[in-house]
Amino acid sequence: MQCVLRADQALVDGHLRPASVGVSGGRIEFIGPVDADCSAAEEIRIPDSAVLLPGFVDTHVHINDPGTDWEGFDTATAAAAAAGTTTLVDMPLDCDPVTTSVAALTVKKAAAEDNCHVDMGYWGGVVPGNLDQLAPLQRAGVRGFKCFLADSGNPQFPRLTPAQFRDAMARVAELGSVMLVHAESHRVIGAGPAPSGRRYRSFLASRPDAAEADAVALVIDTARETGARAHVVHVASAAVLSRLAAAKRAGIAVTAETCPHYLTFTAEAVPDGGTEFACCPPIRDGANREMLWSALHDGTLDLVVSDHSPCAPQLKAGGDFGRAFGGISSLQLSPRVVWTQAAARGFGLADLSRWMSERPAALAGYSDRGRIAVGMRADLCSFDPDVEETVSAATLRHRHPVSPYDGVRLRGSVLQTWVAGRPALARIGESV
């Protein structure tokens, strides 16, 4: 064996138990009792306070490389490794060129080459006029496709009209792939007030619950008509939950995610001028947050991903919600943010791993990761669930120290991360 990891607590088959995990050739070759006789070149003892978990899988990350100074593959993947995240799937829009063709995907892969501390995957973009690119993108290795039903904020990545969306879903069905949808309604947002000034209430009013509800209804109807798999990204509004639950009961191929910020923050607590909290769709009220947690519990929401969407500090516009870039920087913190809130509500590490490892891996078609089992990639992390630390945004490995989590007390600490059986960083050290 390349190495054997011995842990008093390891998450195997959905349960915590003592185990030894033998690794060879980057894969798990053996699982046995903690004291099993397993000869290996290296023996690693997981600290008594820690749990051996599958590496987290984050399928909603904006690395924005190449073409911007907002984030990069080196900094993003180092932050991921420090979070215990072993696989990222990058979104196609906040880079130059946008990933809507094989040529653009090739440029992005070149930017990533030799600059990544964890494994990388990519979504392909769907915009008006590029349906002929979807099959070539699939052959080139994208995990699926992403589109917008409202303005993306990037003129190089336009939204789809309802008719264009139906055509794109039909093509995705032909390919046997999945369409990730930013489900906010252009019609509803366009008919409402524009945000302005420092008041968070203005920003919230500009993207009401109805914008999500209208768009999710379109997604479900189109998935039913075309037979395509649809995945609703970053659900923020509880107003869509009953529709999603009914669609699942009806056998429509639709899944949905939410994000740590929607499970943590509330609109009531966002300060005026707090544009580090600005994101699309917006953070809503406390009662809405608790309904999202209930939807995770009952399976209406399938998974949790970061939607790490960083930008240069000046793009937060000095607190003006009418001009600020909408995105939250959280890649290094996401598993601990969710664990902090989940543990307070009585959930366990098996729930955390299901939401943030197993199900994201399944969404992106990774059958070889997300669980600790023989034959799987040895993507693992050592996680101390009881340590408490206060976040200092200036010490995070993201390129820019802008985060609404600055000063927030979090539970949990990542001690080490292994990608295909090898340490992702020589020493993670302080993980806040």
Q: Contact, 417 vs 428, CB < 8 A?
A: yes
Please report whether residue 77 resides in a domain.
yes
Please report whether residue 307 resides in a domain.
yes
pLDDT number for residue 430: 42
Compute the average pLDDT of residues 76-89. 98
Q: Identity (one letter) of the amino acid at 124?
A: G
Compute the average pLDDT of residues 388-417. 96
Please report whether residue 399 resides in a domain.
no
Distance CA 245, CA 196 (A): 35
Distance CA 64, CA 410 (A): 27
Per-residue DSSP letters for 187-230?
Answer: HHHHTSPPP-TT-HHHHHHHS-HHHHHHHHHHHHHHHHHH--EE
Distance CA 125, CA 147 (A): 6
- pLDDT per position as a tens digit, 179-207: 999 999 999 999 999 999 999 999 999 99
Q: Identity (one letter) of the amino acid at 46?
A: I
- pLDDT per position as a tens digit, 27-38: 999 999 999 998
pLDDT number for residue 426: 60
The structure tokens listed for 227 are: 């037979």
The CATH number given to whatever domain includes residue 333 is 3.20.20.140
pLDDT number for residue 85: 98
Which pLDDT band, with edges at 50, 70 and 90, does 428 fall under?
Answer: low
Rounded to the nearest integer, the mean pLDDT of the chain is 96
pLDDT number for residue 432: 34
Backbone angles phi, psi at 231, to 5 degrees: -130, 120
Please report whether residue 258 resides in a domain.
yes
Please report whether residue 167 resides in a domain.
yes
pLDDT number for residue 108: 98
Please report whether residue 414 resides in a domain.
no
Please report whether residue 413 resides in a domain.
no
Q: How many structural domains compose the chain?
A: 1
pLDDT number for residue 431: 38
Please report whether residue 426 resides in a domain.
no
Domain that holds residue 273: 56-370
The structure tokens listed for 338 are: 């969710």
Q: Identity (one letter) of the amino acid at 96?
A: D
Compute the average pLDDT of residues 123-144. 98
Which of 4, 98, 13, 90 lies closest to 46, judged by CA? Answer: 4
Compute the average pLDDT of residues 315-326. 94
Cβ-based neighbours of 87, under 8 Å, separated by 6 or more: 55, 57, 58, 118, 119, 120, 121, 361, 364, 366, 369, 379
Of all residues in the chain, the percent with pLDDT exceeding 70 is 98
pLDDT number for residue 39: 87
- pLDDT per position as a tens digit, 361-379: 999 999 999 999 999 999 9
Compute the average pLDDT of residues 416-424. 96
